[in-house]
Amino acid sequence: MLNESTQGVFTIAATPFLPDGALDFDSIDRLVDAYIEKGADGLTILGMMGEAGKLTAAESVSVVRRVTSRSAVPVIVGVSAPGFSAMTALSKEAMDAGSTGVMVAPPMGLQTDAQIVGYFHNTAEALGNIPFVLQDFPLATGVQISPSVVLKIVEDCPTCVVLKHEDWPGLEKITALRKASDTGSRRISILCGNGGMYLLEELLRGADGAMTGFGYPEMMRQVLDAFQAGDLERARDIFDAYMPMIRYEAQPGMGLAIRKHSLVRQGIIRHSTLRKPGAGLTAKTIAEIDALAARQTRRLSDLGL
């Protein structure tokens, strides 16, 4: 069960589609297998990157069931919704299907500290005893959550057990939260997003792992393993080898299309299709990705990877 000690690599999963936009269940199976093979300790599905908002309620349930039945590792389900009724309904389906917990991002439009705290009070109440991940992603939601607000939610809501940290800048926030839990606040797990852009610094600041997507998801595993083995220089070497691609994926609104392209190139999913309004990649973009991938392969090879 998801809890405050959760750590490691939780890979954010894409949702594969057929060229006509229908769910591609065969690719879902292969993707689950590949994520685990490449080192995932858990999977997070139906996040923003999973195009959750583009699925009907019925489709969301079918994805949850397929992934949970296939996966040998814990599955967290994104249940952010415009209202608590839809959130509760999907959460119940997720837990019934065997998920380990759910993830909730605040809706666009929240501004004051009190509004944000109030929203998560309502969330915790709506979810009952289901443990949840608080997704803190201001670049996408427009909602800025201060460290003191995170701590207030953690204090008030025992079922909030993980912070998906993707504030930007966010390193001082990790330090502030860790300092608070070192001096008496309840300590929850911090798993970092933002495509891994600051992964090493985040680990150095006290994060418990990664929860993000990347076209080559073994990156998170390799960096974390080297870091945990105490070989910081090797961790930096690996991290730097992936960095040009991490940076390229970081382009807002393009990351998912780039990742799907990379997953197709590696033979993991069949189609790079995004549902509308997601757009395809131009030839120039594809050429840029492929050039970065070729250099990445060379540099990793120099590192014995």
- Distance from C-alpha of 287 to C-alpha of 265, rounded to nearest angstrom: 12
Give the gyration radius of the chain's Cα atoms. Answer: 18
CB of 33 vs a second copy, minimal distance in Å:
26
Q: Cite the DSSP H helix spans in 43-170.
A: 57-70, 84-96, 113-127, 138-141, 147-156
Q: Report residue 135 as tokens.
A: 């997704």
Helix (H/G/I), strand (E/B), else coil: 79: coil
- Distance from C-alpha of 86 to C-alpha of 298, rounded to nearest angstrom: 47
Report CA-CA distances (Å) from 226 to 34, 73, 77, 222. Answer: 21, 22, 28, 6
With CB under 8 A as the contact rule, which of the stretches 62-70, 167-175, 210-218, 265-273 interacts with a second copy?
167-175
For a second copy, the closer CB: 4 or 168: 168
Q: Alpha-carbon torsion 255, 256, 257, 258, what sign?
A: positive
Q: Which of residues 18-47 bind a second copy (CB under 8 A)?
A: none
For a second copy, the closer CB: 25 or 84: 84
Q: Which of 181, 275, 286, 305 binds a second copy (CB under 8 A)?
A: 275
For a second copy, the closer CB: 233 or 304: 233
Contact 17, 23 (CB under 8 A): yes
- Distance from C-alpha of 193 to C-alpha of 169, rounded to nearest angstrom: 12
With CB under 8 A as the contact rule, which of the stretches 4-12, 39-47, 185-193, 248-256 interacts with a second copy?
248-256
Q: Which of 184, 252, 267, 304 binds a second copy (CB under 8 A)?
A: 252
For a second copy, the closer CB: 1 or 287: 287
With CB under 8 A as the contact rule, which of the stretches 35-43, 49-57, 155-163, 214-222 interacts with a second copy?
49-57
Residues in the site for a second copy, rule: CB under 8 A? 51, 53-59, 82-86, 89, 108-109, 111-115, 118-119, 122, 126, 144-146, 148-149, 168-169, 171-172, 175, 197-198, 201, 204-205, 236, 239-240, 243-244, 247-248, 251-254, 275-277, 282, 284-285, 288, 295
